[in-house]
Amino acid sequence: MTTKAPIGFCGLGAMGMGMATHLVKSGHQVKGFDLYPPSLQRFEAAGGNPSPSLLNSAADMPFYIVMVATAVQAQSALFGTAGEEGIVHKLPQGAVLLLCSTVPASYAVSVERELKEIGRGDVFFIDSPVSGGAFRAADGTLSIMAGGRTASLEKGMWLLKAMSAPKKLFIVKGGIGAGSNMKMAHQVLAAIQILVTGEAYGFAARLGLDADSVRKEIVEGEAWSWMVEDRGRRVIAGLEAWRPGVSALTIILKDTSIITSSARLCNFPVPMASAAEQVYFSGLSQGFGSEDDAGMVRVYYPGPVADVKCDLDKETKAAKLKLVVDMLIGIYVCATAESIAFAQQVNLPLDQLHELAVDAAGGSHVFRDVGAQMIKGLTGDVSAWSGSGKRLDDVAQGLSEAANEAQSLKCPAFLTNAALSMLTLAKRTGEKDASAASVVKVWKS
């Protein structure tokens, strides 16, 4: 039954449309619903079965996927609003329900509780946010982070597998909420590393560096990260690539707010993600919300960075490129620390976070190396605080020089300075010749 079972689906946005049409192509009957009629038409054109109403999309469906944008939307779709019924009132006995939206773990937990309260404890609920973008959604090669009861995961496994790449389905221990927490820990990296792309390219433009040289230096060197490579392309392409763009500022802002609001709930410090969030809010105020998040570079440098021509001699240019690299490294170290420390705070398996993020949108060479050392240290091997790899003093010194130069150029450097404060706190409490990985102890203190 299960392999070609009918599936209900709501939320046919960029991601949801890809996921739903991929399931259609794989031979499933998918009844999809969206409040936006053109999406329903596109879905029908792609071979899907458009549903005339939300409730109709759930009736008699043994499997159901929710892929709306926010927890607020999910709540009204699932449980109804203003006296109207929701999806859960129509699902058949023993249905499998996947919540794939990015939501706070506390919200996923509340769904499980409310299902029981209204007598639908029979529903096999899975907390399974996804990552990977619209192309991988349409390919069925997403990363999925799934948590839930064992029975639910067993029943939903074929569907999770149908949408994810072979090694990108992560079953996260910890039940409902664990999937969302894993996604959140990953998004700490994404939230910071999207903004640092603008901070680095804006700083580089003020330094008089041409964007192509900056890109080459970053992409081929130790300052590589998935985000800086991906968003850097659109930072350089400029305004035309931002309207409408690939990933709207409002999307990463929503995920960033999940991080900071969850952190407040558990009394955990997230100085890096919350600095990023405030800058995103200020971009929103300036009208950048619906545009690509790469457009945040305008906060740092008003003109097109691609217009900067470099006329520096080779040595000066190399020294300035090093400042950009050192800025990135310092921020990556703190982003890595914040992600891993927060993951430990919410009891996630750190090795799994590392495996997942190193090869996803949050990945960076620093996360790969320094992150691995942080995890060693946090899981009991104290040699990580002094052992090999980058030195705390070197990373702090490089970042301090970048901050100094940004200041003299009157360039805002929000993440640079937030990271410098954390590295400085680490230096004050740390031992001599401490490793860069040891900065994570400031978050955990």
How many other C-beta atoms lie within 10 A of the C-beta of residue 169?
18
- The span of 91-99, 188-196, 208-216, 274-282 binding its own copies (CB under 8 A) equals 274-282
Q: Is 418 in the site for its own copies (CB under 8 A)?
A: yes
Tell me the three state secondary structure of residue 276.
helix
Closest distance between its own copies and the C-beta of residue 6, in Å?
38
**Torsion angles phi and psi, residue 361, rounded to 5:** -65, -20
- The span of 45-53, 218-226, 241-249, 282-290 binding its own copies (CB under 8 A) equals 282-290
User: What x/- string results for residues 330 through 349 when contact with its own copies is judged by CB under 8 A?
Assistant: --------------------
What is the distance between the alpha carbons of residues 161 and 299, in angstroms, rounded to a whole number? 41
Whether the CA torsion 109, 111, 114, 120 is positive or negative: it is negative
User: At 272, which helix (H) or strand (E)?
Assistant: helix 271-285
Tell me the three state secondary structure of residue 191.
helix
Closest distance between its own copies and the C-beta of residue 90, in Å?
31
HSE, side-chain direction, 13 A CA sphere, residue 393: 6
Q: Is 407 in the site for its own copies (CB under 8 A)?
A: yes
Give 136's contacts (C-beta < 8 A, 6+ positions apart): 18, 142, 143, 165
For its own copies, the closer CB: 309 or 428: 428
Considering only residues 166, 428, 432, 433, which one is a binding residue for its own copies as defined by CB under 8 A?
Answer: 428
Q: Is there a contact between 30 and 50 (Cβ–Cβ < 8 Å)?
A: no
Cα angle for residues 368, 419, 189 (degrees, 5° grid): 40
Considering only residues 6, 80, 174, 269, which one is a binding residue for its own copies as defined by CB under 8 A?
Answer: 269
Q: Is 413 in the site for its own copies (CB under 8 A)?
A: yes
For its own copies, the closer CB: 30 or 279: 279
DSSP string, 149-174: -HHHHHHHHHHHHHHEEEEEEEE-SS
* Alpha-carbon 430 to chain mean position: 30
Closest distance between its own copies and the C-beta of residue 266, in Å?
10
- The span of 104-112, 328-336, 377-385, 408-416 binding its own copies (CB under 8 A) equals 408-416
Closest distance between its own copies and the C-beta of residue 223, in Å?
21
Considering only residues 38, 267, 309, 433, which one is a binding residue for its own copies as defined by CB under 8 A?
Answer: 267
Q: Is 404 in the site for its own copies (CB under 8 A)?
A: yes
Number of residues that bind its own copies (CB under 8 A): 42
Residues 37, 41, 47, 50, Cα dihedral to 10°: 30
Q: Is 304 in the site for its own copies (CB under 8 A)?
A: no
* Alpha-carbon 29 to chain mean position: 30
Q: Contact residues for its own copies (CB under 8 A)?
A: 257, 260-261, 263-264, 267-271, 274-275, 277-279, 281-282, 284-285, 299-300, 302, 400, 403-404, 407, 410-414, 417-418, 420-421, 424-425, 427-429, 442, 445
